[in-house]
Amino acid sequence: MAEHTARRGFLKTLGSFAAAAAAWPSLPALAGAQSSSPTRRAGAQYRGDFAAPKLDKVRVALIGVGARGSGHTTQLSAIEGTEVVGISDLYEDWARRAENRAKEKGHTPKVYFGDPNGWRTMLSETKPDAVFIATPWELHAPMGIAAMRAGAHAFIEIPIAVTLQEMWDLVDTSEQTGRHCMLMENVCYGREELLYLNMVRRGLLGELLHAEAAYIHDLRAQMKEVERGTGSWRTYHYAQRNGNLYPCHGLGPVAQYMSLARGEDQFGRLSSFSSPGRGRTLYGKEHFAPDHKWNKLDFSRGGDMNTSIIKTVQGRTIMVQWDETSPRPYTRHNLIQGTRGTLTGFPNRLSIEGLNRAHQWAQGEEFAKITAEYEHPLWKRAGELAKTMGGHGGMDFLMLYRIIECLRGGQPLDQNVYEGCAWSAVGPLSEKSVRENGAAQDFPDFTRGDWKTTKSLSVVQ
């Protein structure tokens, strides 16, 4: 089955996503959908500090085992207390590859491929406790909602959803079903991000005032994935949307430092601007024939670099940038600034009153010496195993390790559904702000005011 035909068929199976399916690959209306804060539904409960009942063994199913899902299969299969019961993908070779990786660790999953409804059949037949979703962005929300309604906790790749209405639907479904819905923001489990969280929690920066976050990563080569793979569907988003399409890698960690949506502060407003869109048009002309489908797309509709400024309820500021097109070295910025100092990344460096010389960065050996005593306890406990298991320096494995640990221990997750939706909301809010020449957009309060009673993320031991 051709990639485009299969993807359209996949979309058409999703009842709540019918309008978007009919328009695929046309995305502007989909990306701009808005919603105001509704009243919590009858019988629903706030899930900010929610802990689900303990699971002695976590029965795991995966939807989408291509680029990200393949790695998740390998790592979940190796974590004690898991049983991989189901694997679903459109493509048999990807599904079989994941099956073999699970079998190597003693699992015997049922495998579903070829049928666009196979993932639904898998949910019904295998009855998993947890479903890991690594599919194209526009499928995240409907699949997460279906997983929760089937009785499973939903773990969704980035972003958690594309529209604000989908984010509200995820929140409502989690609150009604009593199931977790977590954005799998792996960067929150990076060694440096955990280190900075520990230093912030120990008060080294004083009062936090400002942060900078980014996902700047030259991904033009993904356009060579024409028939299937990330580039085959993501390229349409670049051509038809203009904003920050992928905010969470940089934003998630700094939002945790600031305890946004967790007792201390909340997202307030956002203003956004984009540069002209040039890079993908040039790349298409250089690497594909004139009549290739990528050269028929108008990439000038999107911007190569997007810069957004967030003002929190307490008046703090966050700069968020996104660029997956320009020939520029990778960075997430990862800057957090307070009244007594600043931590930042790429490269890692700090300036903190009383710890290093004034008006200079401490980096390299000096940075390592200063920060040695602040290594995060979770990294001390499982960091070496995480590095051995791999996945972006170990952060991928550590994230999955913590998910299973929390589910088995009946503990709240490190990220709740409200955070995942707030971080992902930068996408549609930035698009609307860009269309309105930088006009400020209010963040929805997905907690409906309950963020004020939610505990800040502690330094997990």
Give the residue from 184, 212, 237 where a domain finishes: 184
Q: What SS3 state is found at 331?
A: strand
Q: Are residues 202 and 322 both part of a single domain?
A: yes
Shortest CA distance to 122 belongs to which of 111, 114, 132, 133? 111
Whether 409 is covered by a domain: the verdict is: no
pTM of model > 0.75: yes
Q: Are residues 99 and 172 both part of a single domain?
A: yes
What percentage of residues in the chain have a pLDDT greater than 90? 89
Cα dihedral 379→64→158→138 (10° resolution): -170
53: cis peptide before it, omega within 30°? Answer: no
The HSE-up count of residue 401 (CA atoms within 13 Å, CB side) is 21
Q: Are residues 233 and 274 both part of a single domain?
A: yes
Q: Which residue has the tokens 């299973």?
A: 404
CA 400 – CA 216 distance, rounded (Å) = 25
Q: Are residues 377 and 438 both part of a single domain?
A: yes
Length of the chain counted residue by residue: 461
CA 419 – CA 444 distance, rounded (Å) = 11
Does residue 294 have a pLDDT over 80?
Answer: yes
> What pLDDT is stored for residue 234 in this prediction?
97
Q: Are residues 223 and 310 both part of a single domain?
A: yes
Q: Are residues 353 and 261 both part of a single domain?
A: yes
Q: Are residues 151 and 229 both part of a single domain?
A: no
Phi and psi (nearest 5°) for 344?
-150, 170
- What is the band of 69 on the pLDDT scale with cuts at 50, 70, 90? very high
109: cis peptide before it, omega within 30°? Answer: no
Whether 401 is covered by a domain: the verdict is: no
Whether 204 is covered by a domain: the verdict is: yes
Whether 24 is covered by a domain: the verdict is: no
The HSE-up count of residue 364 (CA atoms within 13 Å, CB side) is 1
* Helix axes of 426-435 and 417-424: crossing angle, nearest 10 degrees: 20
Whether 126 is covered by a domain: the verdict is: yes
Instruction: Name the DSSP class of 313.
Output: T
Identify the domain containing residue 207 by its residue range. Answer: 188-381+416-453
Q: How many helices (H) and strands (E) does the chain have?
A: 17, 15
Q: What SS3 state is found at 308?
A: strand
CA 84 – CA 385 distance, rounded (Å) = 21
Q: Are residues 93 and 236 both part of a single domain?
A: no
Whether 352 is covered by a domain: the verdict is: yes
Q: Are residues 114 and 197 both part of a single domain?
A: no
What percentage of residues in the chain have a pLDDT greater than 70? 92
The least confident of 22-31, 369-378, 424-433, 444-453 is: 22-31
Give the residue from 147, 166, 184 where a domain finishes: 184
CA 256 – CA 247 distance, rounded (Å) = 14
Tell me how many domains the chain contains: 2
- pLDDT tens column, 81-121: 999 999 999 999 999 999 999 999 999 999 999 999 999 99
Give the residue from 137, 165, 184 where a domain finishes: 184
Q: Are residues 198 and 342 both part of a single domain?
A: yes
Whether 127 is covered by a domain: the verdict is: yes
Decide: 428 and 163 in contact? Cβ < 8 Å: yes
CA 139 – CA 204 distance, rounded (Å) = 41
Q: Are residues 424 and 351 both part of a single domain?
A: yes
- pLDDT tens column, 332-356: 999 999 999 999 999 999 999 999 9
Shortest CA distance to 230 belongs to which of 41, 67, 457, 35? 67
> What pLDDT is stored for residue 354 in this prediction?
93
> What pLDDT is stored for residue 36 in this prediction?
57
Decide: 418 and 446 in contact? Cβ < 8 Å: yes
CA 75 – CA 79 distance, rounded (Å) = 7
Question: CATH no. for residue 431?
Answer: 3.30.360.10
CA 323 – CA 245 distance, rounded (Å) = 9
The least confident of 36-50, 174-188, 385-399 is: 36-50
DSSP-H helix ranges across 159-267: 164-177, 191-201, 230-240, 248-257
- What is the band of 8 on the pLDDT scale with cuts at 50, 70, 90? very low
Question: CATH no. for residue 153?
Answer: 3.40.50.720
- What is the band of 17 on the pLDDT scale with cuts at 50, 70, 90? very low
CA 148 – CA 155 distance, rounded (Å) = 10
Token pair of 331 as six digits: 């960075």
Whether 247 is covered by a domain: the verdict is: yes
Shortest CA distance to 176 belongs to which of 318, 72, 50? 50
Does residue 24 have a pLDDT over 60?
Answer: no
Token pair of 377 as six digits: 């306890």
Q: Are residues 168 and 228 both part of a single domain?
A: no
